[in-house]
Each structure stands twice: as structure tokens, then as C-alpha cells.
A = this chain, B = another copy of it.
Amino acid sequence: MLIILQSGAPDAVLQQVVERIEQLGMQAHVSKGEFRTIVGAIGEENPQLPDLLRSIEGVENVVPIMKPYKLASRDFHHTNSTVTVGSVVFGQGLPVIIAGPCAVEDCQTTRHIAQAVKAGGAQMLRGGAFKPRTNPYSFQGLGEEGLKILRDCREEFGLPVVTEVTDPRNVELVCRYVDMLQVGARNMQNFVLLNEIGQAHKPVLLKRGPSSTVKDWLLSAEYILSGGNNQVVLCERGSRGFEDEMRFTLDVGAIALAKVDTHLPIIVDPSHAAGRRDLVAPLALAGLAAGADGIIVEVHTCPDKAKCDGPQALTEEMFSTMMRQINQLTRAMTAVAS
């Protein structure tokens, strides 16, 4: 960590900085330049130190050198991690395809969709039983009833299932029924929930918050990893932007950047970014081309009757077309890598 003092800061400031550094068990190296005095703090970086030093009047800037996350960092785990969910492996080269309805609406509809996405080439089923909705008067999901439907579909179609958990009190319940827990974008910094999931023995899909940096995202992953659960897959789903003809701005740069900074697998959710089905396929392909290890996509056999997010759901036919494109792309990308 580097601490830059203001030009002309009195010696008392330097002394205070050095003391604070030494109190926290680090060493201080002072370097007095022509324009500025700079102090290097050497040793294990303490997460509170930057703020403590910035609080001192006379300190101009504090520049951390180490990443604030450890278990999520590629510095501590150089090769790519893989995460296994039943028969499916994230991070092994071939993209994982997760598809299904936004919300589980009823048994019959969910079965039809599960059947369709399996036929189209999906390896996992998605579907929400607990739906976080912006509007309190919107459909909020079927709860445990929805979990049962998902479990039944998993058994009938042999597709591992991922579903969102929104309440720390429900983590155990949800774990009983499904194969992978999803943390939604709005809950990326719900640290109470992350702590609870860190204790669970289930793989986790952690979506990026709509105004979170890659650093924030990896710190949220660190919450789960440091709780003891190392089965984390990241998911980019768009950040909040100013374009009013799309819902969110899919940030393929965040995928590429996270691939540099972390060893965890990353997938892409084109549906929530687009908010409209005609843009889903190009965003899915873009995410994969940027390096994503898979996609999670919304499909509905009858989108205009969907209780939730119908405008962004692919029809069966659109899903099949997109899958052909993805397979072709995958073959191309693999050919280059090998």
C-alpha cells in the first residue's frame, strides 16, 4: 500500500501515518521526493488500513497494491477452477447451457418447457420459485410448491436444476430440492444471504449487481468462498445504463476482465440484459465469444401467457436456432484453442 502525503504536509502527519501502519503490524518505508512524501506499507495488508490512513488530514491518496479478495483471486489459484453440478461441469471448455422459464408457473407449463429446452440442447433447467419483483403487486412465485415442480422436472428429464434463493431462512429448504443456488443481481450485496450460502453444501450461481464493479463482484464471491463453500460460478447479466430501448447493458468487458482477475467459471445471462427476445441470441453469442463458460437463458413455450418477463423469453424455435449458432461458435473457438 502506498500513502501519498499532501504537498507541504507537516511532519506530524508523516509520524501519524507511520504509527498507524506499525500499529497494524506492517512496516513503513518513507520516501521523501521533490514534490511529495510517499510512504510504503509493507506486510500483510489490513482491509481497514486504507480508510484509517485516508482519514488523516494531510494524506492525499492511498493506493492499495494487493487485490482485496484472496480466495477468488487468480493470484492465489492460477489455473481455472471447475464447478460440478450433477453431470454438468462449468469451466471445462464446453459451454454449459441453462434454460427454462423465468418463473415456475405451474406443473404442466414447466414440464413442457423442460422438455423443449432439453430437446433443444440445454444441460440444466432454470426456473424461479421465489421471485424478487420490483413491484409488490406482481407475481412473486409459487414458493415451496415451485421447488417441488422443479424437483419433479429434474427427475423426469434428468436435468440438474438451478433456482434463486432470496431469503436466508430458506437456504436449507431450497437446498433440499435443487442442485444449484442462484443469488440474483439485486442480492449480490445481500451479505446476510451470502454468509448463509457460504455455509451451504451446494454450488452457487452469483449474478453481478447492476452497478457493481468486477472488484465488488469478486468480493461478494469472497464472502461465499471464505464461508467454506468453494463451488461458485459467476454470472454477468448487464449493468444499469442510459439506453432506454434495452433493459440493461450487457458488459462483455466485465467477463473478459473477470477472466483475468479470478479463476472462477463465469457464465452470461443475455435475457435480463436484453429485456426483449430479439436481442437475446446476439448477446448470448457475444458473451461466449468474450470467454463465458456458458449461458443461462429464459425460454417459454407460450411467452404471451408468461406470468413474468414474457417479452424476453425465447420461443422453442428461437432457442433451437440460437443453439445451432452456439454449437457452431463453440466448435470454432475450440478449434482455435486446441
Enumerate chain B residues within 8 angstroms of A61, measured Cβ to Cβ. 63, 65
A174 at the interface (CB under 8 A from B): no
Contact count band on A? 35 or more
Could you tell me if B34 and A42 are in contact, using CB atoms closer than 8 angstroms?
yes
**Residue from B132, B325, B333 in contact with A191 in the complex, judged by beta carbons closer than 8 Å:** B132
Could you tell me if A40 and B31 are in contact, using CB atoms closer than 8 angstroms?
yes
Could you tell me if B216 and A134 are in contact, using CB atoms closer than 8 angstroms?
yes
Q: What 0/1 pattern do residues 260 to 295 of A give for CB contact below 8 A with B? A: 100000000000011010110011011111110000
Could you tell me if B29 and A31 are in contact, using CB atoms closer than 8 angstroms?
yes
Alpha-carbon gap, A175 to B250, bound state (A) = 37
Within the complex, the shortest CB–CB distance from A316 to chain B, in Å, comes to 14
Enumerate chain B residues within 8 angstroms of A86, measured Cβ to Cβ. none
Within 8 A of B (CB), among A31-79: 31, 33-36, 38, 40, 42-43, 47-48, 51-57, 60-61, 63, 65-66, 68-69, 75
Could you tell me if A241 and B244 are in contact, using CB atoms closer than 8 angstroms?
no
Within 8 A of B (CB), among A1-57: 2, 4, 7, 16, 20, 29, 31, 33-36, 38, 40, 42-43, 47-48, 51-57
A179 at the interface (CB under 8 A from B): no
Alpha-carbon gap, A276 to B61, bound state (A) = 11
> Which B residue sits closest to A329, measured CB to CB?
B332
Could you tell me if B257 and A245 are in contact, using CB atoms closer than 8 angstroms?
yes
A306 at the interface (CB under 8 A from B): yes
A304 at the interface (CB under 8 A from B): yes
Within the complex, the shortest CB–CB distance from A242 to chain B, in Å, comes to 5
Could you tell me if B306 and A282 are in contact, using CB atoms closer than 8 angstroms?
no
Q: A52-B304, A137-B47, A222-B136 are contacts. A254–B243 as well, Cβ < 8 Å?
A: yes
Chain A residues near B (Cβ < 8 Å):
2, 4, 7, 16, 20, 29, 31, 33-36, 38, 40, 42-43, 47-48, 51-57, 60-61, 63, 65-66, 68-69, 75, 132-139, 166-169, 186-187, 189-192, 210-211, 213-216, 219-220, 222-223, 226, 238-246, 249-257, 259-260, 273-274, 276, 278-279, 282-283, 285-291, 303-311, 313, 324-325, 328-329, 331-333, 335-336
